[in-house]
Structure 1
Amino acid sequence: MSRLQKLFSAGLTIAAAMSAPALADDFRLSSSSVSEGHQLAAAQVFKGFGCDGGNLSPQLSWSGAPKEAKSFAITAYDPDAPTGSGWWHWNIVNIPADVGQLDAGASANNGLPKGSLELKNDYGTTGFGGACPPPGEVHRYIFTVYALGVEKLELPEGASNALAGFMVRANTIGKASITAVYNR
């Protein structure tokens, strides 16, 4: 093996080792409320804008997070919204590292772990805002839990979802998602 091949091989080995925590193959998100590729239940549909759902945040459980995780963040995002930038349905940061689940309706019932911070969704209210795509359109709803390498994100009051997303991704060491759909 030439010196160049050895260097290239060593570089690939180092790159693979460095990216391993970010891949977090064992990090899993599960839910009794939402399922991969399936239609959201009425409980996770918005009440308003022509929709008549329960507007309840789903039950979410996660396991296999990287050992280095110091906190978690959760988002619910619709990339298909006709806004040019998608639609943020839910954004929670600063979930303590010892938490591994949220009960259904945790957002509406103040059932979030102590220290957690919910941001305003794109409906303009704080907490979970359910699905409500335009009639006749099928939209994807991506629920993601992020394992973060910091205990707390220092966000200014009234931080936008874009700023929170930047900070979450800058500190992510692993993530897991479930993508559900909804149409009306």
Structure 2
Amino acid sequence: MIRINLLPHREIKRAARQRQFNFLAGGVVTLGLLTALLIHSLIAGKISAQAERNHFLEKHITQLNKEIASIKKLKEQIQVMLARKQVVEKLQGNRAVEVHLLDQLARRLPPGVYLRSIRQQNNVITLAGYAESNARVSNLMRNLDASPWLQAPKLIEIKSATVNNLRTSAFALTVKLAVPGQKSQGR
């Protein structure tokens, strides 16, 4: 006898294809989600690693900035100490100059000339005093000009004055200090 299949075979095949499609779609979605999760975890790991490197670099940059600040402070202290050293060396080098200055003034002072004040500002010495005559002041200026320690005497003023009932000439003059062995200016 002939067998007739009355079962809806098309619907069964359609249902089988639908199940297969759903299974494949679920697999693709799952695979997509797993891929997205994997990519997310890789990117998150790289971001975390870069954040750690950035933190490491920031920590070392902060440390280096502190070291740079301490180096700058040390350099400033060195500059201050060098300036002090130069002042001390200058004082050591010039300590005999005042002795020579007073010695030269005593040796070059002619009779009849009396000094009232001696002032020094840098290398300029201002002398003020009394002389028995204008000629004695001239003689003093020639004597000072002949000194190796003094140069370029310049008369500021000379006027008549009376000291202890004696008629004298009050004078003021400047002279430049010239240390032998160093370059002198204005000679």
Normalised by the length of structure 1, the TM-score is: 0.29
Higher relative contact order (CA 8 A, sep 6+): 1
Higher strand share: 1
